[in-house]
Amino acid sequence: MPKAAAHPMPTRILCLGATSAIAEATLRIFAERGASLFLVARSAEKLEAVAADLRTRGAAAVATHVMDLDDTAAHPAMLTSASLNLGTIEMALLAHGTLGDQPEAEVSYPAAEAILGTNFLAPVSLITWLANYFEQSKQGTLAVISSVAGDRGRKSNYVYGSAKGALSLFLDGVRNRIDRAGVQVLTIKPGFVATPMTAHLPRSPLFASPDTIARGIVQAVEKRKDVVYLPAFWALIMFIIRSIPGRIFKKLNL
């Protein structure tokens, strides 16, 4: 008789930023496995289109909640609604974020603040509520999309990168606190992904599809990983980049 898995895959999933390309591709995999989903995003039209697609793919149930996730004051009510709808939140996928305008952020504090707010402060608000929820229920997977950009500051995107770096560090601490309660805290670090958010960037062989990233996320959840680089070769690339001495690194155009 096959041995039962110590941690069965989640079937009741909350997704924050559900209309992002990576989130949508990941949700399709869980929908095909019959999961119940609670989706949150800002655009009602896009959200309903994603929900309709997931229903046709086999999701047991799909509920939606329209809101701007930068509105941190509204987080507790939305998260409470999600927990009541799902019964138990078994997994939360945080895919909320924006690349922002680096040149504008270099000369405008409000522009830099907006990037930091969306990519760091709003996730901190969500993670704080969810970490306590999962810790109290002694179960759950908290999967958060960070970025390889957070591994080392580069002139091309250091505002976005600093927000993601701070987010990864925050997740390290949360994991150290609630892992002993049986909660998986997964930091997801994609490299370049071919999504609408990166449509303005020139394509290269380093770009991956959202479907590739989604499969990697699901495998990382299955294996109860702490941190995952997607695709995996980015772990080597970022090791090399982190290893470049500062006196050399500051002269590079990265």
Q: pLDDT tens-digit profile of 179-221?
A: 999 999 999 999 999 888 777 777 888 899 999 999 999 999 9
Domains contained in the chain, CATH given: 12-250 (3.40.50.720)
- Provide the CB-side half-sphere exposure for 210 (13 A, CA): 18
> What pTM value is reported for the model?
0.93
The sheet with strand 12-16 has its strands ordered as 61-66, 36-41, 12-16, 91-94, 141-145, 184-190, 227-230
- Compute the distance between CA of residue 80 and CA of residue 84 in angstroms, rounded to an integer: 6
Among 109, 133, 158, 160, which one carries the catalytic annotation? 160
In tens, the pLDDT along 64-95 reads 999 999 999 999 999 999 999 999 999 999 99
Residues 105 and 161: beta-carbon distance below 8 Å: no
Residues 20 and 43: beta-carbon distance below 8 Å: no
In tens, the pLDDT along 90-135 reads 999 999 999 999 999 999 999 999 999 999 999 999 999 999 999 9
160 has catalytic annotation:
yes
Pairing relationship of beta strands 36-41 and 227-230 according to DSSP bridges: unpaired
Predicted pLDDT of residue 254: 85
Residues 87 and 63: beta-carbon distance below 8 Å: no
